[in-house]
Amino acid sequence: MRRPVAETDARRLLGGGPVTLVTSSWHGKSNVMPAALVTPLSFDPPLVGVAVHPSRHSYDMIRYSEQFALNIPGRRLLHHVQYLGSVSGADVDKLELTKLPTFKATRVEAPLIEGCVAYIECGVEDALRTGDHVLFVGQVLAASADAEAFDGTWLLEDDDEKPLHYLGVNFYALLGPKMEARIPKPQEEAEKSLEEAFEEEMQAARDEEERRRESGGKAGPEEG
């Protein structure tokens, strides 16, 4: 049974991606804010976007410094992430308040937060007004990740090395087991109908589901 979803909650239907801690630095002051409205924008050059409301203290920090860093936390920082979104850097030094240790980035002035599973350092290429937010387009200047967490894709072998995903309000989750999709064969069997090819793929999916049930595996994300 389907039920209506408020237009303002539609963003959460597209949510569930890694939450980030956006760090910035300007005139000797540093700040951090959690952000879920983050997305890849381009492969070449490598561009990412982070949407920030102009009322946020980080907005001016990023706008004037033209730099920022994305820190991707794991579940160890679950409660820090939620708390950092409840206070403003205009009122307090959030890094000092939370006692989160930091270290120097390689390409930007923004500090990096220890204990995260990955980092992306960016220089601002553009700033676009999108509704009530501004999308800062950042060119990736450097990126790094824990070897136990990422090797071309997220490894998802250790819960403490999984990225923390934001579901909305104060709910978060971790990704479940990694699944590998079957790569379609080249169209070398031209005589095979599309229906036959599709049924073959679906049978492979059913076989995999049966094996997973027999092994007691679980599907879907685990909440952090």
CATH number of the CATH domain containing 95 = 2.30.110.10
Q: Does 212 reside within a domain? A: yes
pLDDT-based confidence at residue 189 (cuts at 50, 70, 90) = low
Tell me the HSE value of 31 on the side-chain side, using a 13 A CA sphere.
Answer: 23
Same domain, 119 and 191: no
How many of the other CB atoms lie within 10 Å of CB of 25? 19
Same domain, 169 and 181: no
**pLDDT digit string, tens, across residues 107-134:** 999 999 999 999 999 999 999 999 999 9
Q: Does 84 reside within a domain? A: yes
Q: Does 2 reside within a domain? A: no
Q: Does 144 reside within a domain? A: yes
pLDDT in the model for residue 92? 92
**pLDDT digit string, tens, across residues 30-86:** 999 999 999 999 999 999 999 999 999 999 999 999 999 999 999 999 999 999 999
Q: Is 194 in a helix, a strand, or coil? A: helix
Q: Is the pLDDT of residue 184 over 80?
A: no
Same domain, 211 and 144: no
Same domain, 74 and 127: yes
